[in-house]
Every structure is written in C-alpha cells, then in structure tokens.
C-alpha cells in the first residue's frame, strides 16, 4: 500500500520529503519521550513507595511505643492496685485491733477509777482505826513480852508505825489513779478516733482502687485499639505495595504501547524521506 501511495505521488516533491523527515523525527522523539516518561513514572512511584514506607515505619514505631507505654502503665496500675488492696486489708485489720484496744483502755480506765481508786479510798478511810487497833495490839504484845512466860516480841518497827507509813504512801494515790484513768480515757478516745480514721482511709483506698480498675479497663481498650491500628497499618502497607506494583506495571505497559505506536509514523516518515528523493542526473 505504501508503494502504491508513493508511486502515485511525485518523487521530486521536496515538501513530501520534509514531511517524511518530520514524521520520522516526531516518531523518534515520541519513542524517546515515552521511554523518558516511563523512567520518570517508575522513579516517581519508587520515590512514593519510599515516602509511604518511611511514613508507615514511623507510624508503626509510634504505635509500638504507645503500645509499650500502655503496657507499662497497665502493669503499674495493677501493681499499685495490688498494693492498695493489701494496704486496705491492713487498715481494716488495724481498725479492728484499734477498736478492741480502745475498748480495753476504756475498761482499764473504768477499773482504775471505779474499783482501784475507790478501794484505796476505802482502805485510806479505814487506816486510822486499823492503826489504832494495831497500836493496841503492839502495846499488848510488848506487855506480854515482859512476862516470864510471854512470847519474844521486839520488832524493829512497830506495827502501827508501819501502817502509818503505808497511810502516808496512800495519801494522794487514789487521786493520782483517777488522773491516770482520765489519761487512759483520753488515750482510748484517741485510739477510737484513729480506728474510725483507719476505716475512712480504707474506704478511700477502695475508691482509689475502683478508679484504678476503671483506668486499667480504659488502658486495655486503648491497647486493643492500638493493636487494631497496627493490624490495619500492616494491611494498608500490603495493599499499598500491591497497588504500587500494579501502577508500575501499568506505566510500563502504557509506555510500551505508546512507543510501539510510534513505529508506524517512524516507518512512514522514513519511507517518505527515502523514496521521495530526486533522481541523480545522467549527464555524468
């Protein structure tokens, strides 16, 4: 067909030769441009792949760091919660011990004030009569000692003097015991106050433990979300690599199709440039 067309045209037409050379040049330039476009497209896709790869890697590292931080925070919360649970048990046990101690101190104060002090007051009130009786007994024993058949009675300190010394020692002792009972009462009240405060502290620890459990649940949810995000990121990376390979293949195929499409104008241009060449003169 090309030979038929060229045969019907004037071989000496310079315009057709210029058109042929132009078509050939445009075809060659088209092939060159197609190859350059393919190379640039592949380079851009490679650069895009590296850019997305770095971004994905940075995001993955960030998610890993967040996941590690959440794990440490959850373990710390669990450790603090366990410590608070032990402290709460200790505080409640201390409350029972302090309550029993306060009751014991109240009973001790009551015994000291009502029984011991009152008994000493009664003894102190009976001392004069007792001293008088022991003085009479001492005088009688001394008189009996002077008898030939009497017992040997010569004490270093008369019995009534010993009782007077005891009476002097008892002087003020009941009041001192009552003062001690007041101090014991105050100590019991303080212990009861500490016992009630230990209950408040235990309740506060329980509230803190509840808050920590809620925080732990939130951290677990965050960890689950982080794990899902990492799985989604890995899936996205895989999808992105696959699509980039598809784009590379598409660029190469389109570039080859474009370059192959330039073969026809190159061939026609070359034929026109060579066929429409003026014949040489035969004078030589």
pLDDT in tens, 257-284: 888 887 877 777 777 767 655 555 444 4
- Alpha carbon distance 249, 41 (integer Å): 11
Q: Which of 76, 72, 73, 96 is nearest to 84 (CA)?
A: 76
Residues 51, 54, 55: CA angle, nearest 5 degrees? 85
Phi-psi group of 241: left, alpha or beta (phi > 0 → left; psi -120 to 50 → alpha; rest → beta): alpha
Contacts 24+ apart (CB under 8 A), 224-231: 226/63, 226/66, 226/67, 226/70, 227/67, 229/63, 230/60, 230/63, 230/64, 230/67
CATH topology classification for 2-275: Helix Hairpins (1.10.287)
Those residues of the chain that have pLDDT short of 70 are 1-17, 138, 141-160, 167, 169-170, 273, 275-284
pTM of the model: 0.51
To the nearest 10°, report the CA torsion of 126, 127, 128, 133.
90
């Amino acid at each position: 067909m090309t030979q038929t067309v060229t045969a019907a045209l004037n071989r000496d037409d310079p315009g057709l030769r210029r058109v042929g050379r132009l078509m050939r040049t445009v075809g060659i330039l088209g092939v060159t441009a197609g190859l350059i476009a393919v190379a640039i497209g592949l380079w851009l896709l490679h650069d895009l792949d590296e850019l997305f790869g770095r971004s994905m890697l940075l995001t993955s590292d960030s998610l890993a760091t967040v996941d590690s931080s959440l794990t440490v925070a959850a373990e710390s919360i669990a450790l603090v919660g366990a410590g608070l649970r032990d402290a709460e048990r200790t505080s409640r046990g201390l409350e029972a011990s302090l309550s029993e101690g306060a009751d014991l101190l109240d009973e001790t104060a009551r015994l000291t004030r009502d029984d011991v002090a009152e008994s000493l007051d009664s003894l102190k009130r009976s001392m004069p009569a007792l001293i008088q009786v022991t003085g009479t007994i001492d005088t009688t024993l001394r008189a009996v000692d002077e008898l030939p058949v009497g017992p040997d009675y010569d004490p270093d300190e008369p019995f009534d003097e010993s009782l007077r010394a005891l009476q002097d020692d008892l002087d003020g002792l009941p009041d001192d015991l009552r003062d001690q009972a007041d101090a014991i009462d105050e100590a019991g009240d303080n212990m009861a106050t500490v016992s009630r405060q230990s209950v408040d502290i235990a309740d506060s620890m329980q509230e803190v433990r509840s808050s920590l459990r809620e925080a732990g649940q939130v951290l677990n949810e965050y960890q689950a979300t982080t794990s899902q995000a990492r799985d989604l990121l890995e899936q996205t990376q895989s999808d992105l690599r696959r699509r980039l390979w598809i784009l590379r293949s598409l660029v190469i195929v389109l570039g080859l199709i474009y370059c192959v499409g330039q073969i026809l104008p190159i061939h026609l241009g070359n034929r026109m440039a060579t066929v429409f060449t003026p014949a040489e003169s035969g004078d030589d």
